[in-house]
Amino acid sequence: MDCRAAIAAVRDCADTIEEHAANLLKSLPDVPIEDALRATVVELGARLRDASSRVTFELALLQAELGEDKVDDAAAVNRLSMMDASMMAALEAVPDIVDQLEKAAERDEQYEPAFVLVIDAAGVMLQALEKARAATLRMA
Protein backbone atom coordinates (compact mmCIF):
# COMPACT_ATOMS: atom_id res chain seq x y z
CA MET A 1 0.00 0.00 0.00
CA ASP A 2 1.30 3.44 -0.92
CA CYS A 3 0.75 6.02 1.80
CA ARG A 4 2.35 8.96 -0.01
CA ALA A 5 -1.03 10.58 -0.69
CA ALA A 6 -2.06 10.35 2.96
CA ILE A 7 1.29 11.68 4.14
CA ALA A 8 1.03 14.55 1.65
CA ALA A 9 -2.50 15.39 2.84
CA VAL A 10 -1.49 15.31 6.51
CA ARG A 11 1.56 17.45 5.74
CA ASP A 12 -0.59 19.89 3.78
CA CYS A 13 -2.97 20.10 6.73
CA ALA A 14 -0.14 20.76 9.19
CA ASP A 15 1.32 23.40 6.85
CA THR A 16 -2.10 25.02 6.38
CA ILE A 17 -2.70 25.14 10.12
CA GLU A 18 0.76 26.60 10.72
CA GLU A 19 0.32 29.23 8.02
CA HIS A 20 -3.16 30.32 9.04
CA ALA A 21 -2.39 30.30 12.76
CA ALA A 22 0.68 32.46 12.10
CA ASN A 23 -1.34 34.84 9.90
CA LEU A 24 -4.03 35.01 12.56
CA LEU A 25 -1.52 35.91 15.26
CA LYS A 26 0.14 38.44 12.97
CA SER A 27 -3.16 40.12 12.00
CA LEU A 28 -4.78 40.07 15.44
CA PRO A 29 -3.05 43.21 16.78
CA ASP A 30 -4.51 45.20 13.89
CA VAL A 31 -8.18 44.46 14.67
CA PRO A 32 -10.34 45.63 17.55
CA ILE A 33 -11.22 42.76 19.88
CA GLU A 34 -12.18 42.43 23.52
CA ASP A 35 -9.12 41.77 25.69
CA ALA A 36 -10.36 38.44 27.01
CA LEU A 37 -11.14 37.25 23.50
CA ARG A 38 -7.79 38.47 22.24
CA ALA A 39 -6.07 36.31 24.86
CA THR A 40 -8.25 33.35 23.88
CA VAL A 41 -7.44 33.74 20.19
CA VAL A 42 -3.71 34.13 20.92
CA GLU A 43 -3.84 30.93 22.99
CA LEU A 44 -5.66 29.17 20.16
CA GLY A 45 -3.04 30.32 17.66
CA ALA A 46 -0.23 29.08 19.87
CA ARG A 47 -1.97 25.72 20.37
CA LEU A 48 -2.49 25.36 16.61
CA ARG A 49 1.12 26.18 15.82
CA ASP A 50 2.32 23.70 18.45
CA ALA A 51 0.13 20.94 17.04
CA SER A 52 1.26 21.59 13.48
CA SER A 53 4.92 21.55 14.54
CA ARG A 54 4.48 18.24 16.37
CA VAL A 55 2.72 16.70 13.37
CA THR A 56 5.43 17.91 10.99
CA PHE A 57 8.06 16.32 13.24
CA GLU A 58 6.10 13.05 13.49
CA LEU A 59 5.69 12.98 9.71
CA ALA A 60 9.44 13.30 9.23
CA LEU A 61 10.01 10.39 11.60
CA LEU A 62 7.35 8.29 9.89
CA GLN A 63 8.78 8.96 6.45
CA ALA A 64 12.26 8.02 7.61
CA GLU A 65 10.96 4.80 9.14
CA LEU A 66 8.96 3.97 6.01
CA GLY A 67 12.07 4.55 3.91
CA GLU A 68 13.98 2.08 6.04
CA ASP A 69 11.09 -0.43 6.09
CA LYS A 70 10.87 -0.12 9.88
CA VAL A 71 7.10 0.39 9.93
CA ASP A 72 4.30 -1.51 8.22
CA ASP A 73 1.26 -0.02 6.53
CA ALA A 74 -1.09 -0.69 9.45
CA ALA A 75 1.24 1.11 11.85
CA ALA A 76 1.61 3.98 9.38
CA VAL A 77 -2.17 4.33 9.15
CA ASN A 78 -2.42 4.29 12.94
CA ARG A 79 0.22 6.99 13.30
CA LEU A 80 -1.35 9.15 10.59
CA SER A 81 -4.71 8.78 12.35
CA MET A 82 -3.10 9.92 15.59
CA MET A 83 -1.66 12.96 13.79
CA ASP A 84 -5.11 13.77 12.39
CA ALA A 85 -6.54 13.46 15.90
CA SER A 86 -3.86 15.76 17.28
CA MET A 87 -4.75 18.47 14.79
CA MET A 88 -8.45 17.93 15.41
CA ALA A 89 -7.90 18.35 19.15
CA ALA A 90 -6.08 21.63 18.53
CA LEU A 91 -9.03 22.84 16.43
CA GLU A 92 -11.77 21.65 18.79
CA ALA A 93 -12.02 25.02 20.59
CA VAL A 94 -12.64 26.89 17.34
CA PRO A 95 -16.47 26.66 17.28
CA ASP A 96 -16.76 28.04 20.82
CA ILE A 97 -14.29 30.84 20.09
CA VAL A 98 -16.07 31.73 16.85
CA ASP A 99 -19.36 31.80 18.76
CA GLN A 100 -17.88 34.16 21.34
CA LEU A 101 -16.49 36.41 18.60
CA GLU A 102 -19.84 36.43 16.81
CA LYS A 103 -21.63 37.49 20.00
CA ALA A 104 -19.06 40.25 20.55
CA ALA A 105 -19.59 41.44 16.96
CA GLU A 106 -23.35 41.44 17.50
CA ARG A 107 -22.89 43.63 20.62
CA ASP A 108 -20.49 45.98 18.88
CA GLU A 109 -19.85 45.91 15.14
CA GLN A 110 -16.28 47.18 15.56
CA TYR A 111 -15.45 43.58 16.60
CA GLU A 112 -16.71 42.09 13.35
CA PRO A 113 -13.28 42.07 11.63
CA ALA A 114 -11.92 39.82 14.40
CA PHE A 115 -14.84 37.44 13.91
CA VAL A 116 -14.28 37.35 10.15
CA LEU A 117 -10.53 36.88 10.56
CA VAL A 118 -10.94 33.85 12.81
CA ILE A 119 -13.83 32.26 10.94
CA ASP A 120 -12.03 32.55 7.60
CA ALA A 121 -8.86 30.97 9.01
CA ALA A 122 -10.87 28.27 10.77
CA GLY A 123 -12.72 27.37 7.59
CA VAL A 124 -9.50 26.81 5.66
CA MET A 125 -7.91 24.81 8.48
CA LEU A 126 -10.97 22.60 8.94
CA GLN A 127 -11.12 21.88 5.20
CA ALA A 128 -7.46 20.85 5.24
CA LEU A 129 -8.14 18.60 8.24
CA GLU A 130 -11.06 16.94 6.48
CA LYS A 131 -8.86 16.22 3.45
CA ALA A 132 -6.16 14.73 5.68
CA ARG A 133 -8.64 12.55 7.54
CA ALA A 134 -10.21 11.35 4.29
CA ALA A 135 -6.79 10.47 2.82
CA THR A 136 -5.86 8.58 5.98
CA LEU A 137 -9.16 6.68 5.97
CA ARG A 138 -8.63 5.67 2.34
CA MET A 139 -5.44 3.93 3.45
CA ALA A 140 -7.17 1.95 6.18
Which residues, 6+ apart, have CB-to-CB distance to 115 below 8 Å? 98, 101, 102, 104, 105
Tens digit of pLDDT per residue, the chain (140 long)? 468 899 999 999 999 999 999 999 999 999 999 999 999 999 999 999 999 999 999 999 999 999 999 999 899 999 999 999 999 999 999 999 999 999 999 999 999 999 999 999 999 999 999 999 999 999 87
Q: How far is CA 59 from the centre of its chain?
A: 15
pLDDT for the residue numbered 3: 85
Going by C-beta distance under 8 Å and a sequence separation of 6 or more, which residues neighbour residue 127? Answer: none
pLDDT value of residue 133:
96
- Which H or E run includes 30? none
- The predicted model scores a pTM of 0.94
Where residue 69 falls (left for φ over 0; alpha for ψ -120 to 50; beta otherwise) is left
Q: Which domains are delineated in the chain?
A: 4-139 (1.20.120)
At 4 the pLDDT is: 87
* Cα–Cα dist 18/114, whole Å: 19
pLDDT at position 26, please? 97
Check residue 140 and give its pLDDT: 79
Contact criterion met (CB below 8 Å) for 50 and 8: no
**C-alpha to C-alpha distance for 82 and 131, rounded to whole angstroms:** 15
27-31 contacts, C-beta under 8 A, 24 or more apart: 27/117, 28/114, 28/117, 31/113, 31/114, 31/117
Q: How many residues does the chain have?
A: 140
